[in-house]
Structure 1
Amino acid sequence: MLQIDALPAFSDNYIWLLQDTTHKRCAVVDPGDAAPVLAWLARHPDWTLSDILVTHHHFDHVGGVAQLHGHTNAKVWGPALEDIPARQVALNDNDQIEILGLKFDVLLVPGHTLGHIAYYHADPSAPLLLCGDTLFAAGCGRLFEGTPEQMHLSLSRLAALPGHTGVYCTHEYTLSNLRFAQAVEPNNPDIAARVTQVTEWRAEGRISLPSTIALELLTNPFLRVNETSVKEKADEWNSRDNDSPGAVFASLRSWKDKF
């Protein structure tokens, strides 16, 4: 049985802890800091860290990898197209791997970085997506290396996953992303309802994740570039007719960068 918890790191990162409760073994995703993981392992001395999954090379996602690998000898998986500390298995698009007895598909999703990957577990009843900094709750990552067209295609690929897929991204950006979503779609009732809910959660000290693909399709402007109202706002922002979904995305991303 798989249990997933978030280990907070830095100011707004989450290190996802995947736990095989039957065999008391676990895996972590994007451990930018080793300390929260080592602290959890110290509190659970009968558990074994078997795997470290990395989505991309940014320091807040890989800073603790080498230390954890040295301490636990956990296997390090990461994108083939990026330089990942202590990586043992280089992963390419459409690879399939097994973690904690579960199969994960590797999806290349460039945009935030050029070699960024996501991990997708296609369980019929509870699929899950470990998407790093590509898809956020109500938002998406900045384009540090890729083009708007690359990111739009990457997000379109993730948006096509089953609606009940759990979305496990790695930052607590939801409220700020929702403020932008409301600027794009001020009359969207799903966004308004989500703002209310997430505001309550954060006031109670609860995290806003995971999301789902279905919820993102209702409230994430970067997945809603085919909506007429979203296109109109994008056109208004950059004073042009954005004549393709990719162009609408590029306008929205430019707007969000300055929001």
Structure 2
Amino acid sequence: MDLQPLPAFDDNYIWLLRDADGRALIVDPGEAAPVLAALADAPPPHAILLTHHHGDHVGGVPELLRRWPGLAVIGPHDERIRFASERVGDGDRIEAGPWRFDVLEIPGHTLSHIAFHGEGLLFCGDTLFSLGCGRLFEGTPAQMRASLRALAALPGETRVCCGHEYTVANAAFALAVEPGHPALRERAAQARALREGGRPTLPSTLASERACNPFLRSDEAALRAAIETHAGRRLDEVEAFAELRRWKDGFRA
């Protein structure tokens, strides 16, 4: 199994998973050119998986369908994704080539956002980032918190394949919240070294995210205290998560 993050736009990743014959599974192709270049000499792909409707995750699909007519496009129940040939929701299982994935509904970033989990991989779009989480464009803090908790409950060795290269910026915020966190400081240094070397910081692992990502740990006493100090008041669990997300929205390194 060959897993490859293809850079797109300024900071997106399109994920390619290839089998032994070179046939690919394409995840969230916001633009077609990187996919067409990577698969120029490859046999036809197995399918396209889509996590949500935003253009930087689906915009390349029409051109890919012109290149490979009839290619399966699997996405959420969202009519804004007009070209989906199969729509899936929570508890569904999909087959694409030799791989099997379970579908999880993870609203928050968008209301119809889904993730694909299987083969030791998690394609989570813009819900969970390395050391961060997505903005709440459509969902509520309670929805996003519940979605992140569901993802955090998956096996620790799961590789987190998210949609953007945000790790260094997310690390700067996380360290502003928890400057004395040793595992976070180590992860931040690793991320900087990878980017300085021109390499992606992804995939991460859920074990690393559970240890370092503040959005998966907003219920922990020390982190909750830092959030409450920033807010200037006592907060319940959902309020603490919401305040952390607002803090991040206004943060400038």
TM-score normalised by structure 2 residue count: 0.96
Alpha-carbon deviation of 1:100?
2.0
Q: Within 5 Å, which residues of 2 pair with 1:49-198?
A: 49-73=45-69, 74-121=71-118, 123=119, 127-198=120-191
CA contact (8 A) 1:55 1:78 kept: yes
Alpha-carbon deviation of 1:183?
1.1
Are positions 1:38 and 2:36 aligned together?
A: yes
Whole-Å Cα distance in 2 between the matches of residues 231 and 216 of structure 1? 17
Whole-Å Cα distance in 1 between the matches of residues 26 and 84 of structure 2? 14
Are positions 1:6 and 2:5 aligned together?
A: yes
Alpha-carbon deviation of 1:159?
0.3
Query: SS of 1:18's equivalent?
Result: strand
Whole-Å Cα distance in 1 between the matches of residues 22 and 189 of structure 2? 37
Deviations 1:98-137 (A, max 9, x none): 112211000000000000000000x4xxx11000000000
- Identity in percent: 52
Alpha-carbon deviation of 1:93?
1.0
How many residues are paired up?
A: 250
CA contact (8 A) 2:28 2:48 kept: yes
CA contact (8 A) 2:53 2:78 kept: no
Whole-Å Cα distance in 2 between the matches of residues 250 and 85 of structure 1? 32
TM-score normalised by structure 1 residue count: 0.94
Whole-Å Cα distance in 1 between the matches of residues 15 and 92 of structure 2? 21
CA contact (8 A) 1:140 1:222 kept: yes
Deviations 1:1-30 (A, max 9, x none): x21101110000010001012x32111100
Are positions 1:211 and 2:209 aligned together?
A: no
Task: Give the ranges of 4+ consecutive aligned residues of structure 1 lying more than 6 Å apart after TM superposition.
Answer: none
Alpha-carbon deviation of 1:80?
0.8
Alpha-carbon RMSD = 1.0
Query: SS of 1:222's equivalent?
Result: helix
Query: SS of 2:17's equivalent?
Result: strand
CA contact (8 A) 1:166 1:210 kept: yes
Whole-Å Cα distance in 2 between the matches of residues 179 and 147 of structure 1? 25
Query: SS of 1:187's equivalent?
Result: coil
CA contact (8 A) 1:31 1:60 kept: yes
Unaligned runs of 5+ in 1: none
Alpha-carbon deviation of 1:92?
1.1
